[in-house]
Amino acid sequence: MISEYCQNDVKHVVPDIDGTAEQQEAMTSLFHQFNVTTASARTIVKQFMEEMGKGLDHEGATLPMIPSFVTGRPTGSEKGKYLALDLGGTNLRVCEFELKGDGEFSVHQQKYVVAQELKTGEMRHLCDFIADCVDNFITEYGTHHISEKIQLGFTFSFPVNQTDINRGTLMHWTKGFNCNNAINKDVVIMLQDSFLRKNISVNIAALVNDTVGTLMANAYSHPQTSMGIILGTGTNAAYYEKLSNITKWRGGDQVFEEMVVNMEWGAFDLERRVLPMTMYDNKVDRESINPRQQLFEKLISGMYLGEVVRNAVIHLIDQLILFNGESSTGLNEQWGFETAYMSTIVVDETPELEKIRHILEDTLQVPSTTFGDRQLVKSICIAVGRRAARLSACGVAAVLAHTGELEAGANVAIDGSVYEFFPKFQTYLTETLDELFGQEVAQGIKFTLARDGSGFGAAMIAMMAHKAALAKAEK
Ligand code: BGC
């Protein structure tokens, strides 16, 4: 249990600003609002573990803990050519993988931009667009033989109530998607229908969440990987769970010991019991397309972090603490402050904070900024990013404490822009784990960047599912 590991609470120090007294005061207040103290991290982990237990036990819990129907671990000897389709991050990606059977593979891929109208229009139109992209990919880049039915792994990174390896109904949309006529429908049937109507010879052999794909992809080269995490546009995690712990499982008498569970951890604490929500987060949530949902995700993932910073900055402008009280059209717009700016701002060590000045004055057209203004904006970005890392660490801590892997050490595969690009994200993660469990345990938890792993994982799962289907048909 986590209480066995109690360390001393660590004091976090407020950064100094060379600006006005009001700016220093504002920073102190914001720092405390965005800080996740060691004590509150511990409370969050405890709550997380309770919610995990409920989600494994029954449907309708806050954490859905969805059985993925992926039971085996890859061996690295898998072979064959498979397509993968990845929807749910910034772009739609279509990839063809050739698994070579010796832990090696080759890939070629193409990205397609999903227009905003498609993200919030009719589901049928989105499926038709995806089918057209796959068709274009096969024609332009594919190496499959024309007569073969191509097997595809579909990474659909939204909460899906999975009912088989290639079946699942959409529970709700996240990350700014909101297509009509999709909720409670089987997303595989809808997309397969578009392939059929367009005479595209593709079979969707597996429906895969990106976290599950990331876990499997990393396990191909590091079989002991036990967890896959996405910290990108959205956030979520998957891990291997003992079947005996998935007490809600009614899958009949299949013989296997463990199954990958897609936690959908972005939904954690929608009751707001333990998450340290500030007024800036409340505003992000209220103005989002899915208010009161995915609160954990809204504190952590790339879709929202810039917007949290923007809300804090605007609030300071309104109090005349920043930019002499003057904002700009760009900064006043919802989503006007991109999360990507945060990384550039945080690494700016130039004497006059020139890069920060460029973003604020040239890109966002703020009339003028002082050195103190720029320092304050930088500190806000650090505080918001650091909070995201500390909260992510709470999720990791809960899973590893639950599976009992803390002492033995664990391999965690992570993908996503926030993890990859936010400066010191991994340091903050490990620091928090250190506060929770002590240095020895924290250092035994290894994070590997599994860049673009989900497509590869989906192709591999499609392969496993296709082979299993063939074997079943032969019986
Ligand atoms: C979705 C998850 C997904 C995560 C990362 C969340 O918004 O609900 O299914 O794994 O984003 O892409």
pLDDT of residue 73: 82
Our mutation pick for probing the ligand 1 site, out of 92, 212, 264, 452, counting the most ligand atoms within 8 A of Cβ, is 264
Give the residue carrying structure tokens 């002499």.
Answer: 324
Mean pLDDT value across the chain: 93
pLDDT in tens, 172-208: 999 989 999 999 999 999 999 999 999 999 999 999 9
Helical (H) or strand (E) element with 66: strand 66-67
Residues 308 and 379 in one domain: yes
Q: Are residues 29 and 85 in the same domain?
A: no
Q: What is the CATH number of the domain that holds 342?
A: 3.40.367.20
Q: From CA 384, how far away is CA 388, in angstroms rounded? A: 6
Quote the pLDDT of residue 231: 98
- Whether residues 279 and 362 share a domain: the answer is yes
**Co-location of 41 and 134 in the same domain:** no
Q: How high is the pLDDT of residue 393?
A: 98
| Residue of the CA atom closest to atom 8 of ligand 1 | 158
* Structural domain for 401, as ranges: 2-63+267-449
Q: Is residue 58 part of a domain?
A: yes
Cα(40) to ligand 1 centroid in Å equals 25
Residue 220 pLDDT: 85
- Pocket of ligand 1, candidates 157, 270, 289, 452: which has the most ligand atoms within 8 Å of its Cβ, to mutate? 157
The answer, yes or no, to whether residue 77 has pLDDT greater than 60, is: yes
Is residue 93 within 8 Å of residue 110, measured between CB atoms? yes
- Residues 364, 30: Cα–Cα separation, whole Å: 22
Neighbours of 52 (CB within 10 A): 27
* pLDDT at res. 253: 66
Residues 35 and 134 in one domain: no
Sign of the C-alpha dihedral, residues 177, 183, 189, 193?
A: negative
Q: Is 308 exposed, middle or buried (0-12, 13-18, 19+ CB in 10 A)?
A: buried
Residue 181 lies in a domain: yes
Q: Are residues 283 and 402 in the same domain?
A: yes
Of 208, 227, 256, which residue sits at a domain end?
A: 208
Q: Do residues 84 and 57 share a domain?
A: no
Q: Give the per-residue pLDDT at 222.
A: 87
Nearest CA to ligand 1 atom 1: 158
Q: What is the pLDDT of residue 180?
A: 96
328 and 294 in a common domain: yes
Q: Whose CA is nearest to atom 12 of ligand 1?
A: 234
For ligand 1, atom 9, the nearest C-alpha belongs to 158
Whole-number Å distance, alpha carbon 18 to ligand 1 midpoint, is 40
Q: Are strands 92-100 and 105-112 parallel, antiparallel or unpaired?
A: antiparallel
Q: Residue 262 C-alpha to ligand 1 middle, in angstroms?
A: 10
Quick: pLDDT tens for 412-444.
Answer: 999 999 999 999 999 999 999 999 999 999 999
**Residue 249 in domain:** no
Please give the structure tokens belonging to residue 360: 């604020």
Ligand 1: residues within 6 Å at CB? Answer: 88, 157-159, 174-175, 209-211, 230, 232, 234-236, 264, 266, 297
For residue 174, give the ligand 1 atom closest to its CA: 7
Residue 224 domain-assigned (yes or no): no
Residues 90 and 176 in one domain: yes
CATH number at residue 83: 3.30.420.40
Confidence of residue 281 (pLDDT cuts 50, 70, 90): very high
Cα distance between residue 241 and residue 230, in whole Å: 18
Q: Which atom of ligand 1 is nearest to the CA of 294?
A: 7
Task: Report the pLDDT averaged over residues 270-281.
Answer: 97
- In this prediction, residues 58-64 reach a mean pLDDT of 97
SS3 260: strand
To test the pocket of ligand 1, the residue of 210, 216, 294 to mutate (highest count of ligand atoms within 8 Å of its CB) is 210
Spatial distance between the Cα atoms of 44 and 472, rounded to a whole number of angstroms: 44
Q: Is the pLDDT of residue 18 over 90?
A: no
Which residues belong to the active site?
175, 210
Residue 1: predicted pLDDT: 52
18 assigned to some structural domain: yes
Helix (H, G, I), strand (E, B) or coil at 230: strand
Burial class (CB in 10 A: 0-12, 13-18, 19+), 404: exposed
For residues 342 and 311, membership in a common domain is answered with: yes
| Cα 456 to Cα 459: distance, rounded to the nearest angstrom | 5
In this structure, is residue 471 part of a structural domain? no
pLDDT for position 72:
80
Whose C-alpha lies nearest to ligand 1, atom 11?
Answer: 234
Q: Decide which of 208, 234, 258 is a domain's last residue.
A: 208
Ligand 1: which atom is nearest the Cα of residue 158?
9
- 96-100, 176-180, 317-321, 384-388: segment of lowest average pLDDT: 96-100
pLDDT at 17: 83
Whether 58 has a pLDDT exceeding 90, the answer reads: yes
Is the pLDDT score of 2 beyond 70?
Answer: no
- Give the residue from 175, 208, 241 where a domain finishes: 208
Q: Does 71 reside within a domain? A: no
- List own/partner pairs for 465-468 with CB under 8 A and 24 or more apart: 465/165, 465/166, 465/205, 465/206, 466/82, 466/151, 466/203, 466/205, 468/165
- Ligand 1: centre distance to CA 294 (Å): 10
Of 6-10, 106-110, 177-181, 222-226, give the lowest mean pLDDT range: 6-10
Query: Strands of 445-449's sheet, edge to edge?
Result: 66-67, 258-262, 235-242, 225-231, 410-415, 445-449
**Least confidently predicted of 6-20, 66-80, 322-336, 417-431:** 6-20
Going by alpha carbons, the residue nearest to atom 2 of ligand 1 is: 158
| pLDDT band, residue 105 (cuts 50/70/90) | confident
pLDDT score, position 88: 80
Q: What is the pLDDT of residue 315?
A: 98
Dihedral over Cα of 173, 108, 227, 206: its sign: positive
Model pLDDT, residue 193: 97
Same domain, 419 and 319: yes
For residue 463, pLDDT over 60 is answered with yes
Domain count across the chain: 2
Does any domain span residue 228? no
Domain identity same for 288 and 352: yes
Give me the residues paired with residue 94 across strands: 85, 110
